[in-house]
Amino acid sequence: MLRDDMRTRAKVILVALVLGLAACANHNDNAHTTATTIVAPPVHQQLQISTRPSPKSVAGDSSSPRLVFNFPNGQTFRQSDEVVIDFSLANATLKGDGGEYRVRYIVDDEEMRWIDNWEQVVLTGWTPGKHTIRLELIGPNGWPVDQNVSTRELTVSK
């Protein structure tokens, strides 16, 4: 009886082994081929930043600090064009001009940059496509001043 059990067990193991080998045997040369495609990473935008004097225009007649982003939303530029960040302020003096406020700008959710003097920031070196510029008035406490955050979209073509 013990011998019959061993024979049956051996037959089951043999059948499982044969089925396993049959499943692995494939005569297709491409059955286990991996295709690799090299895709170049997206072009990283390297903006060149320069500044130039800005005419100081007052932003409205509010008694609280106010920043107005003088940049129409949805503008289209050519790749070689300058994009100028220009703004107006009211009731706020920037650090570089002896005050306590700063203007922060962020292009395409990249690294934030600071404007401490009331001047225009000129950006060149854009890659084609849609972009955003976010401009914020930052108060003495280091936080954006209420209602003083503006985002503009622009499109750059070749």
Domains of the chain: 48-157 (2.60.40.10)
The one-digit pLDDT tens for each residue of the chain (158 residues) are 557 777 888 788 887 777 766 666 666 666 667 777 887 776 678 888 888 887 776 666 678 999 999 999 999 999 999 999 999 999 999 999 999 999 999 999 899 999 999 999 999 999 999 999 999 999 999 999 988 999 999 999 98
pLDDT at residue 79, rounded to an integer: 92
Tokens of residue 16, six digits: 């499982």
CA distance 115 to 52: 12
Q: Which residues pair with 121 in a beta bridge?
A: 51, 85
Scanning the structure block, which residue is given the tokens 């800005």? 54
Burial 83-108 (b: 16+ CB within 10 A, else e): bebbbbbbebebbeeeeebbbebebe
The span from the CA of 138 to the CA of 121, in Å, is 17
Residue 71 is predicted with a pLDDT of 93
CA 13 vs CA 6, 9, 33: distances in Å? 10, 6, 31
Q: Taken in order 44, 136, 123, 131, is the CA torsion positive or negative? A: positive
Q: What φ, ψ does residue 129 adopt, rounded to 5°?
A: 130, -170
Would you call 24 helix, strand, or coil by DSSP?
A: helix
Phi, psi angles (nearest 5°) of residue 83? -110, 120
To the question of pTM greater than 0.75 for the whole model, the response is no
pLDDT confidence of residue 132: 97
Residues with Cβ within 8 Å of residue 6, at least 6 apart in sequence: none
